[in-house]
A and B are shown apart, each in its own frame.
Chain A
């Protein structure tokens, strides 16, 4: 988009910049600059680490913090038990890490740190990041599926009870729907986060240009946009939670396919 410099550019917030003069770091010919994306990954990992350490004191009568951590672990544990069954217990660490990392990333990206001049970068709004997470989940499904069932894993593409004359139609459809999974998994998270942030930025540009255009515009455009922004912020917090949950839920469903083979 040809954004004039005077206007608010809603895509500027997704710019990846190298930090601390690391723009020229190279490893085997590839640039490995420490970007703001990497910085916020580190920050969310550290915040997650502190959150978990504070709640892992294993007191017999848990305090509030421990209850918070235990309710998260219990939530993921229940989800895997319901979707995969007893065999799903061994995936709790992976799904829990995935869920909490995405949740903290989404939440940290929504923090109103712009007030103090820090730009919170939502790295889940980049397909490179969510795509890698999705490929990670997908490769776990493939590895578990082939290790456990061998070539019998391909029967995933032909559900039980399919009439024989339907097989040539069903199998390609199932194959495509299987191969599309990592894309849909990564795309959903990335687009949901990006769309929400663009929406907030566009609404804020309404407030700014409305206020600049005069007192009448400020009252009739700026104030309703501001009110809408507050509402959308609440919605974004909901979306941040739901997207993390959906990512974890779909990963556990896909693992169920590999583990139990319908």
Chain B
């Protein structure tokens, strides 16, 4: 396989990471909503933690994009 082709294939494969991160982000918000509907009184105080979880899950998806960008542009 040509190195250029392998690079582009790798960049495409990195999109799997973005998809998996979307599962993670969905999980974060789904679980938060689940808990918030059970105990709405405690929900507002936990919003900060919700976004920490979101930030952590999202970062890994964004790293997949960085990997793809590095493979394409380098």
Contact = CB atoms under 8 A, between A and B. Distances in A.
Nearest to A83: B48
A184 B59 contact: yes
B42 interface: no
Contacts of B58: 188, 192
A245 interface: yes
Given A1-B73, A184-B59, A188-B58, A253 B52 contact: yes
Given A83-B48, A245-B51, A253-B52, A191 B66 contact: yes
Q: How many residues of B sit at the interface, in one of the four size bands?
A: 10 to 19
B51 A191 contact: no
- Secondary structure dominating the interface of B: helix
Given A1-B72, A246-B55, A250-B55, A187 B48 contact: no
Interface string A1-38: 10000000000000000000000000000000000000
B32 interface: no
Interface string A215-249: 00000000000000000000000000010011001
Given A184-B59, A188-B59, A195-B62, A242 B51 contact: yes
A112 B66 CA distance: 27
A187 B67 CA distance: 12
B62 A249 contact: no
Interface string B39-74: 000000100100110110011001101100000110
9 contacts: A187-B59, A188-B55, A188-B58, A191-B65, A192-B58, A195-B62, A242-B51, A245-B51, A249-B55
Interface of B: 45, 48, 51-52, 54-55, 58-59, 62-63, 65-66, 72-73
